[in-house]
Amino acid sequence: MPEPTAPLVRLETDGAVGIIRLDRPPVNAINAAMHAPLRAAAEAAAADPAIRAVVVYGGERAFAAGADIKEMAEQSSAEITTYGRGLIEAIDAVARIPKPVIAAISRYALGGGCELALAADFRVMGEDALIGLPEITLGVVPGGGGTQRLPRLVGVTRAKELIFGGRPVHGDEAVRIGLASRSVPAAEVYETALSWARELAAGPTVALGAAKYAVDAGTEMDLASGLRLEAQVFSSLFGTADQRSGMRSFIESGPGKAGFTGA
C-alpha cells in the first residue's frame, strides 16, 4: 500500500493556541486542493472553545510563496472565477475567526500567501522575509482580498505603490509601514508568534472576539453607525463570566490582575 500523504493544511493545538499549518512543500504554493482544508481548519478553530488564539504558519522555508501559477495559467475567465471563489472563501474563513489570529511569516508571503497573511489580525515576520503582491508582474491584479485589505492597513497611496509596482518588502520595512507588527530574526518567528498567541489566549476570549468584530465591522461603516455598533457590543459583554471576574478583580486587587476563563 502507498504511504498516506500528509494533509496540505492541518489544525494542531498547543494548549489554548490553535496552529493552522500549511504543508505543501517546497514553498506552500496555494493550489485548489488547499482551499477546502484551509477553510475547514479555520472553521474548526473558530468553533472549538478550547482554542482561544490562532497562529497561521507555513514552516521555516516559506509561509506561502503565492498561488500555484501553473495551475492557473491556462484557465478561462469563467474557470478562474470558480477557482478564485474557493480561495476567497478560505481566506475569509481565516479573517472571520472570532479570536486573535497571528500569521507567522518565514521567508515568503507573496500573492495569495500575502493575502492569507492579511486576513490575520497581526503579522510576525522574519527580518529576511518578503511580503507583497506581485500579481501585476503577471498581467493581473490580486484576487484574494489584497486590493481591499492592504489599503486598510497601510493606506491607499502606499497600497497602490506596492500593488502597482509588485514590489515585496522585508520584515523591517513591513513594520515601518504598518503591514507587519513585529520583525524578528528568522529563527525566532514561530516562537515569537506562539508566545504572543499564548498571551492573547490567556485573555478574555469573548471580549477579544467582540473587539475584533467591532473594529472589523466598523471599518465598513460611517462613524455614527460604528459608534452605535460599539455601544451594542460593549453592553453585550455585561453578564459574561470574564466581565464579572475582570471587574471584581479590579475592585478587589487593582488593574491587571484578573484571570479569565474565556466565557
Q: Using CA atoms, how far apart are residues 242 and 231, in angstroms rounded to an integer?
A: 18
Structural domain of 93: 9-201
End-to-end CA distance of the chain: 47
Q: How many domains does the chain have?
A: 2
CATH assignment at residue 216: 1.10.12
Please tell me whether residues 166 and 80 are part of one structural domain: yes
Note the pLDDT of residue 155: 95
For residue 133, give the nearest of 109, 107, 151 by alpha carbon: 109
The residue out of 184, 201, 218 marking a domain boundary is 201
CB 57 within 8 A of CB 21: yes
Res 1: pLDDT: 40
Share of the chain above pLDDT 70, in %: 98
212 and 130 within one domain: no
Note whether residue 4 is domain-resident. Answer: no
Residue 192: per-residue pLDDT: 97
Which domain-ending residue is among 165, 186, 201?
201
The answer to the question of residue 32 being in a domain is yes
Mean pLDDT calculated for residue range 105-121: 96
Residue 153, domain member (yes or no):
yes
Q: Please give the pLDDT value at position 256.
A: 74
Q: Which of the residue ranges 20-34, 88-102, 123-137, 249-263 would you say has the lowest mean pLDDT?
A: 249-263
- pLDDT at residue 191, rounded to an integer: 97
Q: Are residues 113 and 243 in the same domain?
A: no
Whether residue 159 is found in the same domain as residue 210: no
Question: Active-site residue numbers?
Answer: 67, 112, 115, 135
Whether the pLDDT of residue 161 is over 90: the answer is yes
- pLDDT for the residue numbered 108: 95
